[in-house]
């Protein structure tokens, strides 16, 4: 029998000493910087600082925005009446780094160099560690990141692609997947490091991970064309057809990359990646929209089945999260195909700020030791 639990409640996490820690959380995006301050697991305040196109156009690249965003953060903290001297830790969103195990990492010089140079890619999230380090230095504190997108815990057998020059890579929604997996384990009164979960992040990109005893031993590359198609991403594409398209001269390399990573999936068929609009199309009888909506759920379910095979059918729960997990019609399309595998838990949305805060809190309380990059 399959049990479906819809969960969005907050859980009080008390430190063993009863001490209150104040943690600043920084999550930079391409046009905004999310900022929050937590006292242990409870948010004191949160802000989303929006950056206009005219403000950002002054800078050649993401890294050049560092001082601009830093001053905005300091101003927001001051307006909230928070002195940096009263803080205990700063944690930022992890950027594009070399493949590494999950966990909370101390921001060190090597990390700073890799993020500034864009050695593994230039992305707005690269600013997370850079901003955390700058602000931490003002207060004489340590700066951290947790579970960047390049977390890699895949087994050796999962990395084999079929072509010697290509290795399967782990690029996925590690921050949210790990956070909801830990939360699911708590709700089931299990130790995450002893569980076997299939975790599905349903957002603009879709990642499906096989979590075995605290490690994501297999997961689709949710950015570069692997797994289910998504609102903005192509997912896995028939390889020979893609080769012919690439060699046709019709598209430049950058254009093909955007088809896969930014303008693929639902957006490429319907001209929108907003699934609310897609649902409205379906309500008005658009059969093409219905087909694509159902096909995306079908591909997600198929990927869940693949992960069930990875875990040899020994699955404690299937965990669904992300923005699309709010759409119960979409969720039900997945459930009807995978409910036979294991119970299903649903955590709508993506609480990245809280996940970041809890990563720092685990280090401050001694539950976890910060790793060196």
What does the pLDDT look like over 239-253, one tens digit per residue? 999 999 999 999 999
**Are 342 and 365 part of one and the same domain?**
no
Six token digits for residue 15: 């430190």
Which of 19, 29, 148, 138 is CA-nearest to residue 90?
138
Mean pLDDT of 61-72: 94
Domain residue limits at 247 = 174-348
Say yes or no to pLDDT of 221 above 60. Answer: yes
Six token digits for residue 319: 């965990």
Instruction: Please report where in the chains the tokens 């658009």 appear, as a residue.
Output: 286
Distance of alpha carbon 145 from alpha carbon 129, whole angstroms: 6
With bands split at pLDDT 50, 70 and 90, how would you rate the model's confidence at 99?
very high
CATH code for the domain of 256:
3.30.420.40
Which of 358, 356, 368 is CA-nearest to residue 40?
358
Q: For residue 188, is it within any domain?
A: yes
Domains in the chain, number: 2
Q: What average pLDDT does the chain have? A: 93
**Are 56 and 146 part of one and the same domain?**
yes
Distance of alpha carbon 334 from alpha carbon 342, whole angstroms: 13
| Residues 234 and 243: beta-carbon distance below 8 Å | no
Residues found in the chain: 373
Say yes or no to pLDDT of 1 above 50. Answer: no
Looking at residue 16, what is its pLDDT? Answer: 54
- How many CB atoms lie under 10 A from the CB of residue 194? 11
Which of 70, 74, 125, 72 is CA-nearest to residue 96?
125
Q: For residue 23, is it within any domain?
A: yes
**Are 358 and 343 part of one and the same domain?**
no
Looking at residue 53, what is its pLDDT? Answer: 81
Looking at residue 10, what is its pLDDT? Answer: 42
**Are 188 and 337 part of one and the same domain?**
yes
With bands split at pLDDT 50, 70 and 90, how would you rate the model's confidence at 54?
confident
Instruction: Please report where in the chains the tokens 């966990």 appear, as a residue.
Output: 103
Report strand pairing: 344-348 vs 371-372.
Answer: unpaired
Q: For residue 217, is it within any domain?
A: yes
pLDDT digits 0-9 by tens, 313-323: 999 999 999 99
Six token digits for residue 157: 């057998």
Looking at residue 13, what is its pLDDT? Answer: 46
Distance of alpha carbon 75 from alpha carbon 99, whole angstroms: 34
Contacts by 81-86 with C-beta closer than 8 Å and gap 24+? 82/22, 82/37, 82/44, 84/135, 84/138, 84/139, 84/141, 85/139, 86/22
Mean pLDDT of 48-65: 90
Which residues, 6 or more positions from 189, have their beta carbon under 8 angstroms from its beta carbon?
none
With bands split at pLDDT 50, 70 and 90, how would you rate the model's confidence at 131?
very high
Q: For residue 69, is it within any domain?
A: yes
With bands split at pLDDT 50, 70 and 90, how would you rate the model's confidence at 110?
very high
Say yes or no to pLDDT of 368 above 60. Answer: yes
Looking at residue 276, what is its pLDDT? Answer: 95
Say yes or no to pLDDT of 36 above 80. Answer: yes
Q: For residue 228, is it within any domain?
A: yes
**Are 126 and 185 part of one and the same domain?**
no
**Are 343 and 366 part of one and the same domain?**
no
Mean pLDDT of 140-157: 95
Mean pLDDT of 175-192: 96
Q: For residue 102, is it within any domain?
A: yes
Looking at residue 5, what is its pLDDT? Answer: 52
**Are 205 and 227 part of one and the same domain?**
yes
The larger pLDDT score, comparing residue 10 to residue 351, is at 351
Say yes or no to pLDDT of 200 above 70. Answer: yes
118: left (phi over 0), alpha (psi -120 to 50) or beta: left
Looking at residue 11, what is its pLDDT? Answer: 42
Q: For residue 303, is it within any domain?
A: yes
**Are 127 and 260 part of one and the same domain?**
no
Q: For residue 313, is it within any domain?
A: yes
Distance of alpha carbon 198 from alpha carbon 218, whole angstroms: 10
**Are 206 and 80 part of one and the same domain?**
no
| Residues 43 and 58: beta-carbon distance below 8 Å | no
**Are 216 and 124 part of one and the same domain?**
no
**Are 293 and 203 part of one and the same domain?**
yes
Percentage of the chain modeled with pLDDT above 90: 85
Percentage of the chain modeled with pLDDT above 70: 95
**Are 214 and 122 part of one and the same domain?**
no
pLDDT digits 0-9 by tens, 228-239: 999 999 999 999
The 3-state secondary structure of the chain reads: CCCEEECCCCCCCCCCCCCCCEEEEEEECCCEEEEEEEECCEEEEEEEEECCHHHHCCCCCCHHHHHHHHHHHHHHHHHCCCCHHHCCEEEEECCCCCCECCCEEECCHHHHHHHHHCCCCCCCCHHHHHHHHHHHHHHCCCEEEECCCCECCCCHHHHECCCCCCECCCCCCHHHHHHHHHHHHHHCCCCHHHCEEEEEEECCCEEEEEEECCEEEEECCCCCCCCCCCCCCCCCCCHHHHHHHHHCCCCCHHHHHHHHHCCCHHHHHHCCCCHHHHHHHHHCCCHHHHHHHHHHHHHHHHHHHHHHHHCCCCCCEEEEEEHHHHCHHHHHHHHHHHCCCCCEEEEEECCHHHHHHHHHHHHHCCCCCCEEC
Looking at residue 225, what is its pLDDT? Answer: 93
Looking at residue 257, what is its pLDDT? Answer: 92
The least confident of 45-59, 186-200, 294-308 is: 45-59
């Amino acid at each position: 029998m399959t049990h479906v639990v819809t969960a969005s409640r907050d859980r009080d996490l008390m430190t063993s000493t009863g001490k209150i820690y104040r943690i600043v959380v920084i999550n930079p995006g391409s046009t905004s910087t999310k900022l929050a301050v937590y006292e242990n697991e409870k948010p004191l305040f949160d802000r989303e600082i929006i950056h206009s196109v005219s403000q950002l156009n002054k800078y050649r690249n993401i890294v050049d925005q560092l001082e601009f965003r830093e001053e905005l953060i300091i101003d927001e903290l001051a307006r909230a009446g928070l002195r940096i001297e009263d803080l205990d830790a700063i944690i930022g969103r992890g950027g594009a780094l070399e493949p590494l195990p999950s966990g909370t990492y101390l921001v060190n010089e090597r990390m700073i160099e890799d993020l500034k140079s864009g050695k593994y890619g230039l992305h707005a999230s690269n600013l997370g560690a850079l901003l955390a380090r700058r602000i931490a230095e003002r207060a004489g504190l340590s700066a951290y990141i947790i579970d960047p997108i390049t977390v890699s815990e895949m087994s050796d057998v999962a990395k084999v692609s079929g072509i010697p020059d290509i290795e399967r890579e782990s690029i996925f929604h590690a921050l949210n997947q790990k956070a909801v997996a830990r939360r699911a384990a708590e709700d089931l009164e299990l130790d995450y490091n002893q569980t076997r979960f299939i975790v599905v992040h349903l957002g603009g990109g879709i990642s499906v991970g096989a979590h075995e005893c605290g490690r994501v031993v297999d997961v689709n590359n949710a950015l570069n064309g692997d797994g289910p198609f998504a609102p903005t991403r192509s997912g896995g594409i028939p390889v020979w057809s893609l080769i012919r398209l690439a060699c046709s001269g019709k598209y430049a390399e950058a254009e093909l990359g955007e088809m896969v990573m930014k303008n693929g999936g639902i957006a490429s068929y319907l001209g929108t990646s907003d699934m609310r609009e897609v649902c409205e199309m379906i309500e008005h009888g658009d059969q093409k929209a219905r087909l694509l909506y159902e096909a995306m759920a079908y591909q997600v379910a198929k990927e869940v089945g693949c992960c069930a095979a990875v875990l040899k059918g020994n699955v404690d729960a299937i965990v669904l999260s992300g923005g699309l997990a709010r759409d119960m019609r979409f969720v039900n399309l997945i459930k009807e195909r995978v409910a036979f595998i294991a119970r299903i838990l649903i955590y709508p949305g993506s609480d990245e700020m809280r996940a970041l805060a809890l990563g720092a809190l685990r280090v401050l309380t001694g539950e976890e030791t910060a790793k060196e990059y």
